[in-house]
Structure 1
Amino acid sequence: MSDINSSQYIGPEKILQKKQDYIIPCVYHFYNEPMQLVKGEMQYLYDHTGKQYLDCFAGVSVVNCGHCNPEITKAICDQVQTLQHTCTIYLTENIVNLAERLAQITPGRLQKTFFCSSGTEANEGAALLASIYTGKQEFISLRQGLHGRTKLTMSLTGLSLWRTDTNPVGGISFAPNAYCYRCPYGKRHPECDLACANEIEGIIKTATSGQVAAFFAEPIQGNGGIITPPPGYFKRVKEILNKYNILLIIDEVQTGFGRTGKMFAIEHYGVEPDIMTMAKALGNGVPVGAFTSRPEIADTYTRPGASTLGGNPVTSAAALATLDVIAKNNLPARAAELGKYLKRGLTELQKKHPLIGDIRGHGLMLGAELVNPDKSPAAQQLDTILEQMKDRGFLFGKNGPDRNVMAFQPPLVITREDLDNLLNNLADVLAHIA
């Protein structure tokens, strides 16, 4: 129990009432009996009663360095007391230092960056840059991909759950994703010869007018169900795109900054993106997004552009401190090591519980897909597991088109002991799930 005075908080019931009265109802929440979270310390969260929870979702891959990391918090507080905001029409130092740092750590020749406030905005900007550079307006993205909540990025999203717009943007074609567990062709890797990647060429030839600016992809699809392409997938994709002079835009909003065991998940595949987008963990909870590209692409965006809050002194200070913490503690290597440990533990549970149909992912971005004996999605069982694990003090996510995939995306500062506690409690809960 933490030293929290519950009397100073209104509690879950009153929050739910205010939420119903004042929040647009699309803003949903987990759990039938949700708690009020009031405090965070590294890998732990606390509710208004002082109960501690092990956070295995990290605000959906945001607080990679832990909640209220003291080094990042200090950098934010120091900056907010000197210069909080100006806008990019004035010169400040943090923004250019951050852009320089990103040029040093991003793959290949990526060098020039535009800062904004979210992953959605980053993807929107990346699409604009691709059209400016190529002079083309069409896009291809993947089924089960998620790229944002604006009109264009929602139209690029291949998950019906998130496609709220009743009149989506046209000129977007969808390719099959590399969902090996449920291969759309009924094949197995590697005998499949990457049929899902090869299909992209057929889509270019038949479903587009040939004026495709870019192909959008998450290297691991987060909300899509931690869908993890096999080796060689993105190299084959890039070969096809190069043949038709189509840019590759890689969305690292969930996968970036050490999450998968490398600084960026696309590094697992040995491919250089033409444009890369990022957000979430870049600021460890401070709203910052960015898209970065090679100079010859970036330099075509010359008409005036600005993001009022993007890259302001405080968000840039937070991001610089975040990158310092990641480097100093070698968090990508830590994620790789602990991810293997967690995956082994989940695999042992899978041997005892056929409810776990598939385990996939890299590093500390892992998904366990729950299925019935006929391999149909076991979404109801996952809801029960989530609720019971929450009651035991463990939080993780659910995703996939049928919401039947347990998503483990904890702060990268989590410990092996924490993972043991998670696995032991999950074993107890699974033992009582029909």
Structure 2
Amino acid sequence: MGDVDLGLVEGQGIRVSDADGNEYVDAISAEWVLNLGFRHPEIKQAIVEQLDVIDYVSPVFENQTRTELAKRLAELAPGRLEKVLYALSGGAAVEGAMHLAMRTTGGSDFVCLDAAYHGRTFATIGLTYVHPGMVEGSNKGLDRYIPRQMRVPNYYCYRCPLKLEPETCDLACADLVDFALERGHTNGPAGVIVEPYQANGGMVPAPDGWLARVHEMCQAHDVPLIVDEVQGALCRCGPMFASERSGIEPEMIILGKALGGGLPLSATITVPEYSELLDWEYGFTEAGNPVACAAGLAMLEVMVRDDLPANSEAMGEILVSRLEEIAQGSKLIGDIRGQGLMVGVELVTDKATKEPACAETDLVMGACLEHGLMVGKTGPVFGQNGNVIKFKPAVNVDEQDIDEIVTLFGRALMQVEATL
């Protein structure tokens, strides 16, 4: 959402209240952390039951809840992804994947994409889009700690960096990954790290076939494809894991944000051949906390039992359809794109030139809050703070919830467009 002067004090489901008693419909799942909404009863029960048994177990000891979550993730993950490395944040989990890849391949250079977001730790800054705050930090010497990366143009069919058309491009942007693996490294390639859906990069889904082609390139160069699903997994893009949409079995998948049901928890799931680390090479004292693991395990069971992958797909289709109806009479909506309940609405001042409507996006964000709706914003990439509205409601919403979200957004958009 950006920085707003708003103190939140209570939440239930997709609704949250501020300190003044105003209620809002949360269409971004509390910054995409609560995929089942606020205070889900079964997650709450799992947390309480775990606290009644034991609230912390050091990673040097075994713990049943921690082990059960790892086993469940391995059961649900595609292919041979069966080893789990816990961490506390998405960025830390990305670093874990980097450790695993470098240890196995012997290389140290990673291929990543423009407009990617993989975290703000010292290592992951080198893989992430260039944000002014990061540049300032780099100028103060942080770049000494940033590992080498090979950045290639990202997929973005609405604004193709290569100035090509999606109908005839033959996924030319994917071929640049192969070029980087072949010639762009100095210390040997260690892997390719990508998002299947660039959320912070503009709410942009990978084109059909893109991820599969990149995976073939990784296999040809004997390096892992590391899929960062911190934002896209756990039914957010439809399937339990976003990369399932491409039919691939990557060497690693990174999870975070929603994994702990609102508590700090992240993980790297990997195939056995990329699971070796030296003693003390990587780890966190509170990683895999049993309370967070209990919350994550309860969340997964609800998702499986209630078939929330199917619900995310169905509700996402309805959300996009209703937004497209609004777009027909809109001055500002240039593009609508999404997978499951990961949906972006790009606002432009001119639909022919696609000039980003950054100031107008700020006005729409403010109007949404006035009408009791919380949405997010992003891309491209945060120039003048962005021009893409984010919709990421809880994956257990129903059609009535979608109708309410779209109605409130439509009112806010109409209010702003009436002044243009």
Contact 1:399 1:406 in 2 (8 A): yes
The 3 A distance-change label for structure 1 pair 359 and 194 is same
1:238 to 199, 211, 215: 215
What are structure 1's unaligned runs of at least 5 residues?
A: 1-27
1:390 to 350, 369, 392: 369
Query: Identical aligned pairs, as a percentage?
Result: 35
**For 2:332 and 2:130, how far apart are their aligned partners in 1?**
24
- How is 1:355-394 mapped onto 2 (pairs within 5 angstroms)? 355-373=332-350, 374-394=353-373
Q: Does 1:407 align with 2:387?
A: no
Q: Deviations over 1:318-360 (max 9, x none)?
A: 1111111111221111111000000001111111114111111
1:135 to 103, 106, 125: 106
Residue 431 of structure 1 corresponds to: 414
Residue 126 of structure 2 corresponds to: 155
2:19 to 25, 28, 48: 48
Residue 3 of structure 1 corresponds to: none
Letter in 2 for 1:389: C
The 3 A distance-change label for structure 1 pair 89 and 210 is closer
Q: Does 1:172 align with 2:145?
A: no
Q: Deviations over 1:93-134 (max 9, x none)?
A: 111111100100111110000111111110011001100010
**For 2:401 and 2:132, how far apart are their aligned partners in 1?**
32
Residue 109 of structure 1 corresponds to: 80
Q: Deviations over 1:68-106 (max 9, x none)?
A: 111101111121132111211122111111110010011
**For 2:71 and 2:203, how far apart are their aligned partners in 1?**
31
Residue 291 of structure 1 corresponds to: 268
**For 1:40 and 1:418, how far apart are their aligned partners in 2?**
15
Residue 277 of structure 2 corresponds to: 301
Letter in 2 for 1:398: K
Residue 80 of structure 1 corresponds to: 51
The 3 A distance-change label for structure 1 pair 337 and 162 is farther
Q: Give the RMSD, CA atoms, in angstroms.
A: 1.5
What are structure 2's unaligned runs of at least 5 residues?
A: none
SS at match of 1:423: helix
- How is 1:2-401 mapped onto 2 (pairs within 5 angstroms)? 29-31=2-4, 34-161=5-132, 163-164=134-135, 165-166=137-138, 167-168=142-143, 169-209=146-186, 211-298=188-275, 300-304=276-280, 305-373=282-350, 374-400=353-379, 401=381
State the TM-score, normalized to the length of structure 2: 0.93
**For 2:55 and 2:412, how far apart are their aligned partners in 1?**
47
Q: Deviations over 1:33-78 (max 9, x none)?
A: x321100101111111222111001122211111011110111112
**For 2:174 and 2:343, how far apart are their aligned partners in 1?**
23
State the TM-score, normalized to the length of structure 1: 0.90
SS at match of 1:145: coil
SS at match of 1:75: helix
Q: Deviations over 1:287-345 (max 9, x none)?
A: 100001111211x2242453211112111111111111111221111111000000001
Q: Deviations over 1:224-272 (max 9, x none)?
A: 1111111110111112222222210000100010111110111111111
Q: CA deviation at 1:210?
A: 6.4
**For 2:355 and 2:397, how far apart are their aligned partners in 1?**
32
**For 2:180 and 2:104, how far apart are their aligned partners in 1?**
22
Q: CA deviation at 1:162?
A: 6.0
**For 1:329 and 1:194, how far apart are their aligned partners in 2?**
36
**For 2:133 and 2:343, how far apart are their aligned partners in 1?**
21
